[in-house]
Amino acid sequence: MLAIDKSEQSEKNKNQIQAMFNAVAPRYDFLNRILSVGYDRYWRKIAVNQFGNISNKTFLDVATGTADIALEIAKRHPAALQIIGMDFSQSMLKLGNAKISKNNFNKEIPLIPASAENIPLKDQIFDGAITAFGVRNFSDPHKGLLEMYRVLKPNGKIVVLEFSYPKYKLLQGLYRFYFEKILPLTGRIISGHKTAYSYLPTSVISFPQGQAFKQLLENSGFKKVSLITLSLGIVTLYTGIKNV
C-alpha cells in the first residue's frame, strides 16, 4: 500500500473545506444568527474589545468569512487606520465585499483571497491579527499561527475566538445534543448542504481547546498568552503578544 503524503492530504482537506464554505456562503450569516441565537455578534464584539484603543492601527482579519469582524473593527470610534480581511472562499469574499460597500468602508477594508498558511503580505505590518471561528479550518493550525505571528509588528496582538465545550457535565450533555443533533439538521435544511453543519461539531470535538490551544499559541512564539471562556464555556477567547 502506498503511503499518503501528508501535504497532499492536507491540501485535499483544504479543498474540501473551501468547497463547503463556498456552497453554504449564501445562507451563512442567516444561519450564524439562528444557530447561535444571536450570540455570535456579542462574541465578536468582545473579541475586538481585546485590542483596546484601535486608533490609527492596522489589523488583519484571517478567515474573515463575510467580513463581520472587519466591519466590527471599522465601526469603532476612534477608527482604525486599515483592516485587511482574507479568506480562501471566494463566495464568502463576494458577500463580504457587498456588506463592506453597503456600509461605505471600501477604502478601509480591502479583502484578499488567501489561506492562513500562506499570507501574501510583508513581515511586521499589523498591530493586531484576529481570527474568529476560523482556526479550526486551517489546514495546518500551527503554520497559520506562525504566519499571523510573522505579519504582526513587535508587541502586536493576536486574538483568537473559537468554539469549545462547556466544563459543567449537565451543560455538556445539553450542548452536545444541540451541537450534534439539532444544529446539523437545522443547518442542512436551511443551507441545503448535506455535510457542512455536521462538520462543525466534528471539527470542534477534534480541535485542541483550553490549555492545549494556549500551548499551541506559545509554541508559535506568542507570549503572555491568556484565555477566557464566554457563555458558560461554549466559546473561548485567546490572546497573545508578539514580544521580540
Q: What is the pLDDT of residues 76-120, one digit of tens each?
A: 999 999 999 999 999 999 999 999 999 999 999 999 999 999 999
**Upstream peptide bond of 78 is cis (omega within 30 degrees of 0):** yes
Measured in residues, the chain has a length of 244
Reported pTM: 0.88
Q: What is the pLDDT of residues 160-200, one digit of tens each?
A: 999 898 877 788 888 888 878 887 888 788 778 777 777 77
The answer to whether 237 and 50 have CB atoms below 8 angstroms apart is yes
Boundaries of every domain in the chain: 38-166+208-241
pLDDT for res 190:
75
Task: Provide the CB-side half-sphere exposure for 178 (13 A, CA).
Answer: 13
For the domain covering 38-166+208-241, report its CATH number. 3.40.50.150
Q: What Rg, from alpha-carbon coordinates, does the chain have?
A: 17
> What is the band of 130 on the pLDDT scale with cuts at 50, 70, 90?
very high
Pairing status of strand 223-230 against strand 235-241: antiparallel
Q: Is the dihedral of CA 16, 158, 214, 69 positive or negative?
A: negative
Longest C-alpha distance within the chain, in Å? 60
